[in-house]
Amino acid sequence: MKFLPSQLLFFFQNKTTRKNMVLLAKFIAFIFSIIVLYSICFHLLMLYEGREFSWVTGVYWTLTVMSTLGFGDITFSTDLGLLFTIMVLGSGVILLLIMLPFTFIQFFYSPWLEAQSKSRTPRELPEDTSGHIIITCLDPITEKLVAKLKRREFEYVLVVGELHQAAELYDAGYKVVVGDPEDPETYYRLRVENAALVVATSDDMINTSVAFTVREITRTVPIVTSANHENSLDILQFPGNTHVFQFAKMLGHAMGNRTLGLGRPVNFVSSFDRLHIAEISAVQTSLGGKNLVDIGMREKTGVTVVGLWEKGKFQVPRPETVISSTTLLLLAGTAKQLDRFEELYANGKEMHAAGAPVLILGGGRVGLAVAETLEEHQISYRIVEKRPNLTAGKGEMFIEGDAADIKVLEQAGVMETKTVIITTHNDAMNIYLAFYCRQLRPEIQIISRATNERSVAKLHMAGADLVLSYASMGANSIINILKNDEISMFTEGLNIFRRPMPRSLVGKNLVQSHIRQSTGCSVIAIKSAGKLIVGPDPLISLKEREELILIGTTEAELAFLDRF
C-alpha cells in the first residue's frame, strides 16, 4: 500500500487517462440509465398483465435478465412481455458481457497497470545523487558489472528505453530508469554531471551517439565504450575522456597467450604493483606427481601456489595436494621470484613443433585476435570457419567448413595439434565442440570462450581445460576505471580483492588466522606502510592499518566477508 499514492499520482497526471476515465464514467451512467428505463417498463408491462411488483423487484428482474442469470422466478405471460424480455436480454449481453469488460480494461485496468509500472520504474534520480554509474545497455558484460558493483557497494542505474522492459528488469532486481539513452534530457534527469562513470556497450553507432550526448552536458565525467570494429576507435575516442575497449580483441589475445608453448612457460595473467599472478601447466614443469609440501617452492623461490585448476575445477592448495599432469598452477610472486621458479621447475619443452599447428575454431573477431597473437610468437595455426566470406582468399590457414564435421577437423589437423581454441560467440556450440574435441583427443589442451557466466561450468564439464569469460574480462576492465587499484582476472570464477585488516586478525599471524581453511581465500600479499609485501611470511604479525590482498572464488570472497 505504500506505493498507492505514487501510483494514483501517475494515474491521474496523464491527460489521456483522465479523458478515458470521463468516458468510462459516461458509459457506466448510460448503463445505469438503461437499467432504470427497463425497470420502469417492467412495472408498466406487469400492470398491463394485471400484476404489481415493488421497484426493487423491477431492478432485480432487469439485472438478472441483462446478466443472463435468468432465475425464472418472475416471467411475463403475454407476447409483448416476452418480446420485452428478449430485448432486455440482448442488450444485456452487448452492454454487460461485451462492452463493459472491454471498456473497463481499456479505460481503467490497462492504464492502472501502466501507472503501477511507472511508479516502480522512475524517470529521474534524486537531485542529490552523485558518484553513481550510468549503464546504457544490459548485456553479458554489464550483467557481470552490476554484480561486481553490488559487491563493492557502488551505486548504479540502468537506462532502459521501453517501460515494459524496465518493469521486467526492476522485478529482476535491477535499479532502472526509463529514458532514451540518446536523449540529452535523459542524462539531465540522471544527474550525469555528478556521475562517476557512464558505460555504453551497445553497437558502435549507438555508443558514439551516447558519448557525444553525454559530452553535450559534461566534459569531465569518464565514459567507457566498447568498439566492435577497428575503424570506430578514432570516432569513439573523439569526445575526450573516453575509454574505448575492443573486448573481443582483448579476449582473443588473452586466449592466445594461454596456448601451451607460447613464449615463456609462465604466463602472466594479472599484475598489481610488484605482485604478479601467473599460470603454468604442470606438463611444462617437473612438478608432476609431487605434493606441495615436498616441493618447498616458497622456500626456494618465494613463489606461492595460490590455486590449482584440475579439469576445470578450482582447488584451494593444501600441503598434501598432489600435482598431476593435467593440473594448471596459479602462482603469485614478484617478477624475480617467477623467473627463479622457471629456472628451477620449467622444463622448457617445445609444445608446438612444426607440422602441429594450433587449431582455432571460429574465424570471427576473437578467432582472428587469437591468430594475431600466435603469429607474433611464430606459432602456426589453422582457423576453421563455415562462413565463406570470412575464408575466401585467406590462404591455407583458413579452412571453410563446419567444425562439427570430423572431416573438416581432420583436414585442419585435429589429430596432430596440441591445442584447440574455441572462439565462437555461441556458448551452446562451444560446449558441443569442447566435448567433441575431448572425445577425439583426450590429451590435448582445450581453451574455450564463454559469453555468458552460466556456461562456464558446462564448458569445464564438457572438457575445456581453461575457460575465459567475455563477461568477466569486460566487467573487470570497467571496474579498473572506477578503482585503479583493483586487480583484473579474466578467468571466470576467480577474484582478487583487497580488504582492510579485520580487527579480529590484528596481532595474529597468517597461520593463526586460518583464513584459507575457513574461507578458501589465499593471502597473496600484504600492503603495509605503503609497501607491498609479496608472499608474506606466514609467521609475521598482522597489524591494524595493513591491507590484505587475497585471491579466491566468488563464494570464498563472500565467506571471507561474512567471517571477517
Alpha carbon distances (Å) from 91 to 29, 106, 288: 15, 21, 89
Topology of domain 133-245, CATH:
Rossmann fold (3.40.50)
Average the pLDDT over 88-93 and give the result: 91
Order of all β-strands in the sheet with 547-553 = 494-500, 547-553, 522-528, 531-534
Beta-bridged to residue 348, according to DSSP, are none
Across 381-385, 542-546, 549-553, the highest mean pLDDT is recorded for: 381-385
pLDDT in tens, 210-241: 999 999 999 999 999 999 988 888 888 888 87
Q: Which pLDDT score, from 0 to 100, does residue 484 have?
A: 60
CATH tag, 493-563 = 3.30.70.1450
Helix, strand, coil percent content, the chain, rounded in steps of 5: 45, 20, 35
Residue 139 banded pLDDT, cuts 50, 70, 90: very high
Three-state DSSP at 134 gives: strand
Query: Hey, which CATH number is domain 263-345, 3.30.70.1450, 1.10.10.10, 1.10.760.10, 3.40.50.300?
Result: 3.30.70.1450
Q: Which of 6-10, 107-111, 140-144, 256-260 is predicted with the least confidence, judged by mean pLDDT?
A: 6-10
The more confidently predicted of residues 486 and 422 is 422
Please identify, in words, the CATH class of the domain defined by 4-120. mainly alpha
CA distance 305 to 321: 11
pLDDT in tens, 467-491: 888 888 898 889 888 876 556 555 5
Beta-bridged to residue 564, according to DSSP, are none
Alpha carbon distances (Å) from 208 to 110, 138, 179, 187, 189: 37, 17, 17, 15, 20
pLDDT in tens, 168-178: 888 888 999 99
Q: Which pLDDT score, from 0 to 100, does residue 353 have?
A: 46
The more confidently predicted of residues 484 and 327 is 327
Q: Which pLDDT score, from 0 to 100, does residue 289 have?
A: 85
Q: Which pLDDT score, from 0 to 100, does residue 215 have?
A: 94
Question: Residue 316 contacts by C-beta under 8 Å, 6 or more apart in sequence?
Answer: 307, 516, 520, 522, 552, 556
Task: Please determine, for residue 555, whether its predicted confidence score (pLDDT) is greater than 70.
Answer: yes
Task: Please determine, for residue 542, whether its predicted confidence score (pLDDT) is greater than 50.
Answer: yes
Strands 327-333 and 304-310: antiparallel
Q: Which pLDDT score, from 0 to 100, does residue 2 have?
A: 45
Closest by CA position to 473, among listed 138, 246, 227: 246
Question: Residue 78 contacts by C-beta under 8 Å, 6 or more apart in sequence?
Answer: 45, 48, 49
State the maximum Cα–Cα separation within the chain, in Å, rounded to a whole number.
Answer: 118
Strands 445-450 and 419-422: parallel
Q: What DSSP character marks residue 548?
A: E
Three-state DSSP at 283 gives: helix
Q: Which of 106-115, 226-235, 244-253, 320-329 is predicted with the least confidence, judged by mean pLDDT?
A: 106-115
Q: Which pLDDT score, from 0 to 100, does residue 209 have?
A: 94
Average the pLDDT over 388-398 and give the result: 79
CA distance 95 to 196: 58
The more confidently predicted of residues 519 and 6 is 519
pTM of the model: 0.73
Q: Which pLDDT score, from 0 to 100, does residue 370 have?
A: 95
The more confidently predicted of residues 359 and 297 is 359
CA distance 182 to 180: 5
What number of other Cβ atoms are within 10 A of residue 436's Cβ? 20
What mean pLDDT value characterizes the chain? 86
Q: Which three cell numbers, joined as nine digits, stand for 384? A: 576453421
Closest by CA position to 367, among listed 432, 420, 440, 441: 420
Residue 142 banded pLDDT, cuts 50, 70, 90: very high
Closest by CA position to 288, among listed 276, 277, 280: 280
Topology of domain 358-472, CATH:
Rossmann fold (3.40.50)
Task: Please determine, for residue 532, whether its predicted confidence score (pLDDT) is greater than 90.
Answer: no
For helices 15-48 and 79-92, give the axis angle rounded to 10 degrees. Answer: 170
CA distance 454 to 309: 18
Same topology between domain 263-345 and domain 493-563 = yes
Task: Please determine, for residue 495, whether its predicted confidence score (pLDDT) is greater than 80.
Answer: no
The more confidently predicted of residues 133 and 111 is 133
Q: Which three cell numbers, joined as nine digits, stand for 358? A: 594450433
Domain ranges of the chain: 4-120, 133-245, 263-345, 358-472, 493-563
End-to-end CA gap in the chain: 39
Closest by CA position to 459, among listed 309, 270, 265: 309
